Amino acid sequence: MTEGAVYRPASGADWPAIAGVVNAARRADGADEVRTPESLASEHASLVMARDVVIAELDGIPVGYGAGQVLERSGALVAELTGAVHPAHRRRGIGTTLLRRTRDGAVAQMGADHRPLPASSAATRWTSRPASSRCSPPRASRPSALATRCGER
């Protein structure tokens, strides 16, 4: 479905194209707020463009973007993903591909993060459970899911 689309890492020079895609998508979705390249760059200043942002192009023209970054919240690593596809190019798999690429990049960052987990984290609770536990291990991207599956809330 994404035939002809080219995906590449973004650079700081892509903010005007990203703003164009975001504004077209927001208009099509009924939002009135207009974003400038400067406001987007400021809001996402913590992103490493070449690592965290992917641009989708058709015939050399940016038609979508995806961004993902890893943050720590309450002792757990979480990924925040965002993105948009120009309305004229939706329903072709471009958004799905952008989501998957940014998700995979965020998961790789999580895997490379060597910070210790706090003793109260779900992953620590999993490793301390007896082998007879019927709970499945937590997924790396959702450590809190373990507590729900194991009846701990």
Q: Do 27 and 98 reside in the same domain of the chain?
A: yes
pLDDT at 2: 66
Q: Do 36 and 102 reside in the same domain of the chain?
A: yes
pLDDT at 144 over 60: no
pLDDT at 153: 36
Instruction: Report how far apart the first and last C-alpha atoms of the chain are (Å, whole number).
Output: 41
Q: In which order are the strands placed within the sheet that holds 61-73?
A: 5-9, 53-58, 61-73, 76-85
Residue 141: which domain range? Answer: 116-153
Which is more confidently placed, 34 or 128? 34
Question: Residue 13 maps to which CATH number?
Answer: 3.40.630.30
Q: Do 40 and 55 reside in the same domain of the chain?
A: yes
Q: Do 40 and 56 reside in the same domain of the chain?
A: yes
pLDDT at 124: 42
Which is more confidently placed, 9 or 138? 9
Token pair in block for residue 60: 């050399």
Q: Do 65 and 137 reside in the same domain of the chain?
A: no
Q: Do 63 and 42 reside in the same domain of the chain?
A: yes
Q: Which residues contact 110 (CB under 8 A, 6 or more apart)?
A: 70, 77, 79, 140, 141
Q: Do 41 and 102 reside in the same domain of the chain?
A: yes
Q: Do 86 and 123 reside in the same domain of the chain?
A: no
pLDDT at 12 over 90: yes
Per-residue pLDDT tens digits for 24-54: 999 999 999 999 999 999 999 999 999 999 9
Q: Do 92 and 134 reside in the same domain of the chain?
A: no
Residue 17: band (very low, low, confident or very high) from pLDDT cuts 50, 70, 90:
very high
Per-residue pLDDT tens digits for 52-106: 999 999 999 999 999 999 998 888 889 999 999 999 999 999 999 999 999 999 9
pLDDT at 129 over 60: no
